[in-house]
Amino acid sequence: MFILRLNSATMPLSSLSLLLTFISAMLYQIFDQTAIALLTAASLMLFIMLEWRETNNIGKFMVSIVLLVSAICYFYLELPAQVLLDSMSRAGFFVALFVGIGLLREATEVSQAIQRCGEYLVAQPPSRRYFTLAFGSHVFSIVLSIGTLSLLSGIVNKNNTLESSGGDREVWDTRQRRMSMAIMRGFNATIYWSPFSLALIVTSTSLEGGEASDFYGVGFICAMILLFWGWLLDYFSVSKVKQTNAESINSTERWPILLNLVALVAVVFVISLAVAELIDSSLLVGMLVSVPIVCAPWMMLCMPGPSLAKCYQQTMARLKLHAVEQFPTYRSEASMVGTAGALGVLLSAAVPKELMAELLISLHLSGLPLAIALVLTILVGGQLALVPLVTVSILASVLPAPELLGLRYEVLVLAFVGGWAFATQSSVFSGTTLVTARLFNRSAATVAYAWNGLFVLTGSALLCLMVAALHFIYAL
């Protein structure tokens, strides 16, 4: 693991506390010691308190809810203190994953080769631009997460000018719509199967009956189907004349540049698998522990220093700057992600699962109808400003084991992550929509409804069909 020489004189205390949360959460996954769990809980609570003033209202609300539920569990339901500690350990783990994604994003931002990969994708001819951008942004998002939107949108805006469109504003507008939707949908599709997918992490850790790795294959296939569906809609939305007459964006890059991105993703996965095998844990834990192992050497390779020692110094300086400047800005996300993890543990321990199963069956909400109802509930909730993170955390935590509901684990996970995926790209309140709208200088309503509405409506129907098909396949 890389070492940073830090002290409170050069780094904010909140940054130090979040760094300690990240390190202790990793160590707890390896050694499973109560003392480390207590350190994780203490450092995370310190970070939340130090950044409370600047935390957004949703984050504050989530923290307040968790405190209330914790008090009810401990004082009224008389659940053991270990449940509270387990909830904080889960919260620390979720926050550590979020920090790890940020570190991976930092590592890719210093790489000129990764920037050039983005330029190559944007510069494709109109006839295949959507396809390459959608699948390219999908691969980017495995390591960059939502940072993919910023990276590729910047390249799009730089190259897609009115001048490059021959002064034709309709061509410029069509280019922007097609490329922005390709980037957003490609990013969004990682929700179904990426080990760093927050939706998959929250769902798999809250549901009983399986692990995230049980769903990776199914999730990948569903993601590819939806990416292909998005390409079909785009293909038929633009006339053949416009596709062939529009000029390509100039670029000197060629396809071998993409090998840099493929290599980074491959290295992350191979090291994660090796670490998971070494510590006898899941791929998700392996991904978390491997982040420092991947980031530091990759950044050193990208640094311009004349010697290895100089590259090391530059890398450590960059990582320290990232901790100083970026860690405090994680305040709202850490509060929301962390409390979602804690809430899952608390509700799972507090709600009697057998009684919940009986209640749902008496309401005729079991089997396939329940799975479809979950998709629609999450999707509609997103339109009403109910963050999928909260909705899924609560619903997945109170549900009993899938077999008690006449469902397979994979079917239930698909319903949750699929509903989450379409809620985030169709709601004017979601981070994905708001970021995309800001980056392309459009309103959230334009992005969510005018540009992406048809895909959301037809894609949601396709999702329900995939849920039904998977249910019947497992029933055979």
Percentage above 70 pLDDT, the chain: 93
**Mean pLDDT taken over the chain:** 88
The DSSP code sequence of 223-249 is HHHHHHHHHHHHHHHS-HHHHHHSPPP
pLDDT score at 249: 57
Q: In terms of Cα–Cα distance, which of 331, 426, 270 is closest to 60?
A: 331
**Cβ contact 190:138 at 8 Å:** yes
pLDDT at 9 exceeding the cut of 50? no
pLDDT score at 166: 67
Contacts of 354 (CB under 8 A, 6+ apart): 400, 404
250: DSSP letter? P
**Cβ contact 390:340 at 8 Å:** yes
pLDDT at 438 exceeding the cut of 90? no
Residue-wise pLDDT tens digits, 343-370: 999 999 999 988 888 888 888 888 999 9
More confident residue, 92 or 147: 92
pLDDT score at 68: 96
pLDDT score at 246: 52
9: DSSP letter? T
Query: 79-83, 111-115, 268-272, 387-391: lowest mean pLDDT where?
Result: 111-115
406: DSSP letter? T
What is d(CA 115, CA 387) in angstroms, rounded to the nearest whole number? Answer: 32
pLDDT score at 5: 52
Give Cα 165 distance to the centre of its chain: 34
pLDDT score at 244: 46
> Rounded to whole angstroms, what are the CA distances from 68 to 26, 30, 72, 394, 414?
28, 31, 6, 14, 30
pLDDT score at 191: 95
pLDDT at 143 exceeding the cut of 80? no
78: DSSP letter? -
Cα maximum dimension of the chain = 71
pTM: 0.85
**Cβ contact 246:441 at 8 Å:** no
Mean pLDDT, residues 316-334 taken together: 92
Helix (H, G, I), strand (E, B) or coil at 42: helix
pLDDT score at 4: 52
- The tokens of 223 are what? 């993601």
More confident residue, 68 or 307: 68
pLDDT score at 460: 97
pLDDT score at 242: 53
pLDDT at 213 exceeding the cut of 70? yes
pLDDT score at 392: 94
pLDDT at 101 exceeding the cut of 90? no
pLDDT score at 286: 87
Residue 3 binned pLDDT confidence (cut-offs 50, 70, 90): very low
pLDDT at 239 exceeding the cut of 60? no
**Cβ contact 350:390 at 8 Å:** no
Mean pLDDT, residues 128-139 taken together: 90
pLDDT at 57 exceeding the cut of 80? yes
Residue 190 binned pLDDT confidence (cut-offs 50, 70, 90): very high
pLDDT score at 258: 82
Q: In terms of Cα–Cα distance, which of 219, 235, 245, 281 is closest to 25?
A: 281
pLDDT at 255 exceeding the cut of 90? no
Residue 319 binned pLDDT confidence (cut-offs 50, 70, 90): very high
